[in-house]
Chains A and B, each alone.
Chain A
Amino acid sequence: MGVAVLIKQVPDTTSKVSVAGDRVDESSVSKWSISPYDEYALECAMRLKESGYSEVVAITCGPQRSSKALTEAAAVGADSLIHVHVEDSLDSIQVQTLLSAAIKRTGSEIVLCGKQAADTNSGSTGPGIASILDYSCVGVVSEVSVDDGVLVATRQGPSGLEEIEVSAPCLFTFDKGESELRRPNVRGIMMAKKKTVEALTPGDLGVDLGESAVIVNSHSSPPDKPPGQKFEGVSSIATVVQKLRDEANVI
């Protein structure tokens, strides 16, 4: 059985994001990367494969540029690649519907993804898909392994690490784990070139997106951080203590 890993291409966390007019200006983003939590999911998928779990299919939904994220996944070992190609921005349910249809097409009963994307941070994709596909869902895990055919997920519980046993079909959303995504190597990059990206439209998947239920009015930059304040001398101690208590809430 194959493992499906869902990856989203987002502005790299170190890139500056700017707003032009009332929309995020995508052309100002200097670097696009696989969303960091998805990287943990991808690494886990590669480990599952190494422990004998047949092949890994990487799936993304997004505009043309996001196909690069699939090639990057291929460079670290993803076997097949599916790009659900949409240029418009979609709402969460539309994305979940498309990805669910793509997963169904692959027949994968183990699905891994990040707990939230680094750009929208909405955290709805994983649970939404699990609900559409009627899969179990284990959220915010740091690791998934297989033990005698049983899936074991590790997650941070209120009083320590929890281990959860679950059977397929199941979807896991990933938090930061111990294992960072492996670095690609030249051999992987050369192999990635040979793997074809299967590009699918919503129509190919038999999905009618309909109207988006969400209308974004505008984007704006967060307000500038207020400048740092400087205090000198013994006489300022009282003010500093008061500010630390009332404004910074640290004491």
Chain B
Amino acid sequence: MMRNMAYEALDFYDIDSMLSEEERMVRDMVRDWVEDRVIPNIEEACRDGVFPDDWRKEIGEMGILGAPLKGYGCPGLSYIAYGLICQELERGDSGVRSFASVQGSLAMYPIHDFGSEEQKEYYLPKMASGEWVGCFGLTEPDYGSNPGDMITRAEDKGDHFLLNGAKMWITNGTIADLAVVWAKLDGEIKGFIVEKGDEGFSAPEMKGKHSLKASVTSELVFQDCKIPKNRILPDVKGLRGPFSCLNNARYGISWGAVGAAQSCFNSAKEYSLSRIQFGHPIASFQLIQNKLSWMLREITKGQLLAYHMGKKKDDGTWIPEQISLAKMNNVDMALEIARMSRDIHGANGILDEYPVMRHMANLESVKTYEGTHDIHNLILGRHITGIQSFTREP
């Protein structure tokens, strides 16, 4: 198939040379898919506010969902490969990466690590193939950064559990076949699997987003929702459950943000070379060059951070605070780059002909979800000082 110009992803320090052939091939497969299927259709998907079902199927066929998980039909790739997948998907659109992050890291991962053998065998193969979509219900209308105080409750009724409460801002909610829901059972947070069609469960879509428009965001409502006893995740309790899922997803975001930034950088570079003002390409002006070199610098640092974090994930020598830093830093730099790129495009920067405004709006969500920028600062602050500053309570 013929395309206009090859996408040359910024790779100033030649991260490419550090990848295995398998990692490069997975990256190229996803890159080609994004080029062929996402980029030509993303604006329409955003206008319609839908995540096209074809994308779900094709992502499933590529076999990239739950990338680093092993067994039960999961890919068993390295964390570096998982990062590269996120990078390429998010170069297309943060909404597409969100779909894959939620499915893999937030829904498949807890079943894989905390589920019963029966749950793993039943759910994981269908989720790895994309046949079943999962979502992750932690945030509530009144508890965002502070999920520990959640209201949603589960009661043991002998032969079933009864769930009551509501979750909000849940990615994939309305299109999901199952939800991993965090709720308190006897005052302690536990994970439950709720399936579409369960009595007392509904997932109305939240409309009106100016960001992540091609991603479905929903409420999850539980009104005396009755689920069988075998739907509790047996092997985890407390905030460790949801937080360990978030660690994996946040790691993926640190790569995803690089992809969005690479896209904005490329657009700015091409635009500035072709836009003539005062008789010269604007790329020939020092102020523009300063902006481009700042972008190059920040993206390169972000790439090295993500790559090194990936190596640590693969070695198992990481601490969650390192992931906080990577997520926070890379989303922050990507958002700044999107804004700067928008500026370089002048008025054209606000048009949907260029990807920059869409990335910019998307990244505002990415800055907030999976732990807001400042929550990650507080996590690091606690790490440095040993003093938690989330709450005034001791």
Interface residues of A (CB under 8 A from B): 12-16, 30-31, 36, 68, 71-72, 75, 180, 183-187, 189-190, 192-193
Q: How far is the CA of A186 from the CA of B29 in the complex (A)?
A: 9
Indicate which residue in A36, A68, A186 contacts B26 across the interface (CB closer than 8 Å): A186
Chain A residues, CB < 8 A from B7: 14
The answer to whether A186 and B63 touch (CB under 8 A), given A180-B1, A193-B21, is yes
CB A29 to nearest CB in B, in angstroms, measures 9
CB B271 to nearest CB in A, in angstroms, measures 18
Chain A residues, CB < 8 A from B76: 190
Chain A residues, CB < 8 A from B32: 183
CB B269 to nearest CB in A, in angstroms, measures 14
The answer to whether A184 and B6 touch (CB under 8 A), given A71-B21, A193-B21, is no
Give 30 A-B contacts (CB < 8 Å), ordered by A residue: A13-B2, A13-B3, A14-B3, A14-B5, A15-B6, A16-B5, A16-B6, A30-B6, A68-B21, A71-B21, A71-B25, A72-B25, A180-B1, A183-B32, A183-B33, A183-B61, A184-B25, A184-B29, A185-B29, A185-B62, A185-B63, A186-B29, A186-B63, A186-B67, A187-B63, A187-B75, A189-B29, A190-B22, A190-B76, A192-B25
CB A39 to nearest CB in B, in angstroms, measures 9
Chain A residues, CB < 8 A from B29: 75, 183-186, 189
Please provide the 4 A-B residue pairs with the shortest distance between their CB atoms, ordered closest to farther. Answer: A186-B63, A14-B6, A185-B63, A186-B75
Say yes or no: is B77 at the interface (Cβ < 8 Å to chain A): yes
Most chain-A CB neighbours within 10 Å: which of B25, B64, B77?
B25
Question: What is the chain A residue whose CB lies nearest that of B7?
Answer: A14
- Whether B6 pairs with A12 at a CB distance below 8 angstroms is yes
CB A15 to nearest CB in B, in angstroms, measures 5
Say yes or no: is B17 at the interface (Cβ < 8 Å to chain A): no
Q: How far is the CA of A36 from the CA of B75 in the complex (A)?
A: 29
- Whether B62 pairs with A186 at a CB distance below 8 angstroms is yes
Q: Mark B60-90, 1 if CB is under 8 A from A, else 0.
A: 0111100100000001110000000000000
Chain A residues, CB < 8 A from B21: 68, 71, 193
Q: How far is the CA of A190 from the CA of B204 in the complex (A)?
A: 40
Chain B residues, CB < 8 A from A189: 22, 25-26, 29
Contact residues on B (Cβ < 8 Å of other chain), bracket: 20 to 34
Chain B residues, CB < 8 A from A71: 21, 25
Q: Mark B196-218, 1 if CB is under 8 A from A, else 0.
A: 00000000000000000000000
Q: How far is the CA of A12 from the CA of B8 in the complex (A)?
A: 12
Chain A residues, CB < 8 A from B8: 30
Say yes or no: is B286 at the interface (Cβ < 8 Å to chain A): no
Q: How far is the CA of A184 from the CA of B25 in the complex (A)?
A: 9
Known: A180-B1, A185-B29, A186-B26. 18 other contacts (CB 8 A): A14-B4, A16-B5, A30-B8, A31-B6, A36-B1, A71-B21, A72-B25, A75-B29, A184-B25, A186-B29, A186-B63, A186-B64, A186-B67, A186-B77, A189-B22, A189-B25, A190-B22, A190-B76
Q: How far is the CA of A12 from the CA of B4 in the complex (A)?
A: 12
Chain A residues, CB < 8 A from B2: 13-14
Docked complex: B308-325 residues within 8 A CB-CB of A: none
Q: How far is the CA of A71 from the CA of B5 in the complex (A)?
A: 24
Question: What is the chain B residue whose CB lies nearest that of A189?
Answer: B25
Question: What is the chain B residue whose CB lies nearest that of A11?
Answer: B6
Q: How far is the CA of A30 from the CA of B6 in the complex (A)?
A: 8
CB A175 to nearest CB in B, in angstroms, measures 15
- Whether A193 pairs with B3 at a CB distance below 8 angstroms is no
The answer to whether A193 and B22 touch (CB under 8 A), given A183-B29, A186-B62, is yes
Indicate which residue in B6, B25, B77 contacts A75 across the interface (CB closer than 8 Å): B25
Q: How far is the CA of A182 from the CA of B167 in the complex (A)?
A: 40
Chain A residues, CB < 8 A from B26: 186, 189
Chain B residues, CB < 8 A from A31: 6
Chain A residues, CB < 8 A from B62: 183-186
Chain B residues, CB < 8 A from A13: 2-3
Chain A residues, CB < 8 A from B61: 183, 185
CB B65 to nearest CB in A, in angstroms, measures 9
Most chain-B CB neighbours within 10 Å: which of A15, A75, A183?
A183
Q: How far is the CA of A13 from the CA of B6 in the complex (A)?
A: 8
Chain A residues, CB < 8 A from B1: 36, 180
Chain B residues, CB < 8 A from A15: 6
Chain A residues, CB < 8 A from B77: 186
CB B310 to nearest CB in A, in angstroms, measures 17
CB B93 to nearest CB in A, in angstroms, measures 19
Chain A residues, CB < 8 A from B6: 12, 14-16, 30-31
Question: What is the chain A residue whose CB lies nearest that of B67?
Answer: A186
Question: What is the chain A residue whose CB lies nearest that of B35?
Answer: A14
Most chain-B CB neighbours within 10 Å: which of A31, A180, A189?
A189
